A and B are shown apart, each in its own frame.
Chain A
Amino acid sequence: MKQERKRSNAPIFWALFGAGGMLSALFGPMLVFITGLAVPLGLLLPADTMSYPHMLAFARNWLGKGFIFAIIALFLWHAAHRIFHSLHDIGIHAGTGAKLICYGLAMLGTVLAAYALLAIGF
């Protein structure tokens, strides 16, 4: 009398969550330092590090595109997963609706990032 079990689709979201978590741990603090402290305060880095031409050139390079896309998309999937599970933890069992909103926003951000990076040219 073995009962039929439904395979969970969690590995997809868990893998994205894990990848985003690792990336944010590796790059998050550095990005906060560069974009939030070093460049605005003129520490260590040249003042024009984040000027429009520099950033445009970065976003037009394949490697730069890949980096920006991975950072935005995976951070979003990580956040979505964490928010979804935290809702559950604090007693809001919104189920499919919350899942759609959380992961839907991450999906939307992913698509927008991909679109913007392609639209900005090469």
Chain B
Amino acid sequence: MAEKTIEIEVLRYHPEKDREPHRQVFEVPFTDDMSVLQGVQYIKDYLDGSLSFRWSCRMAICGSCGMMINGIPSLSCQTFLRDYYPARVRVEALSHFPIERDLVISMDGFIEKLESIQPYIIPKEPRTLEQGEYLQTPEQLDAYEQFSSCINCLLCYAACPQFGLNPDFVGPAAIALLHRYNVDSRDGAKAERMELVNSEEGVFNCTAVGYCSEVCPKHVDPANAVNQNKTNSAADYFLRFLAPKGGAK
């Protein structure tokens, strides 16, 4: 019996020799337990060693292997070739990001945004070791828990049309994480982070498309975080005039 094969069309770009990205089709042996990631790994190992892509854990934990698979932002480790077979599968670098090489995108812009939201607990009240740990009720945990599952895979950025139009937009994952710290009962830096939420790069770039939450492999709901913060930001905008201390500025 002849070996089954599947065609994988890959977006290639080597900045030192290509003027622009182009497509290349590879024929890869197919078994029905192969992920798309295993498909591109086969290409690298046996067909073209110059193919570049990021991957690490193979089990949807590390967030490295995000790609556009037939135009949909997906983790290639949990997307299976059998769902496309016998048709050709198209694999491209994540949308809306500069391509560094082949399927590798530049994350620099995102890393800056991640730093800007101060993604760590800034304690409301410093505690000494003798005072023990910070205690939280199950309700207080519920408030932020789902937003803490983000693995920074950037699928939501590739899905967000508004990030595509305006790369300065803080964007879904960073705002979801920002929200995660703002609603944590141990944290006291909400006012600082709200400056970013309220800014021209902030939540009002979102037009409530919701695709970010749809593509999230960890079931975080960034659209929910962004839209809750529209309400927070609007309240902050109007109520600052009533605030006893003279508001934010």
| Partner-B contacts on A (CB < 8 A) | 5-8, 10-12, 14-15, 85, 88-89, 93
Beyond A14-B234, A15-B234, whether A8 also contacts B199 by CB under 8 A is: yes
Chain A residue, CB-CB nearest to B202: A8
Chain A residue, CB-CB nearest to B200: A8
Decide: B165 and A88 in contact? CB cutoff 8 A.
Answer: yes
Decide: A89 and B161 in contact? CB cutoff 8 A.
Answer: yes
Beyond A11-B234, A14-B230, whether A5 also contacts B199 by CB under 8 A is: yes
Cα distance, A83 to B249, chains bound together (Å): 32
Write the nearest CB–CB distance from B201 to chain A, whole angstroms. 7
Interface on chain A toward B: helix, strand, loop, or mixed SS?
Answer: helix
Cα distance, A5 to B237, chains bound together (Å): 15
* Interface mask (B209-249 → A, CB under 8 Å = 1, otherwise 0): 00000000000000000000010011001100000000001
Collect the chain A residues with CB atoms within 8 Å of residue B202's CB.
Answer: 8
| Partner-A contacts on B (CB < 8 A) | 161, 165, 195-196, 198-202, 204, 207, 230, 233-234, 237-238, 249
Collect the chain A residues with CB atoms within 8 Å of residue B199's CB.
Answer: 5-8
Write the nearest CB–CB distance from B203 to chain A, whole angstroms. 8
Cα distance, A88 to B209, chains bound together (Å): 14
Write the nearest CB–CB distance from B129 to chain A, whole angstroms. 31
Chain A residue, CB-CB nearest to B197: A8
Collect the chain A residues with CB atoms within 8 Å of residue B201's CB.
Answer: 5
Decide: A11 and B238 in contact? CB cutoff 8 A.
Answer: yes
Collect the chain A residues with CB atoms within 8 Å of residue B204's CB.
Answer: 8, 10-11, 14
In the A-B complex, the 6 residue pairs with the closest CB atoms: A10-B204, A11-B237, A5-B199, A11-B234, A8-B200, A6-B200
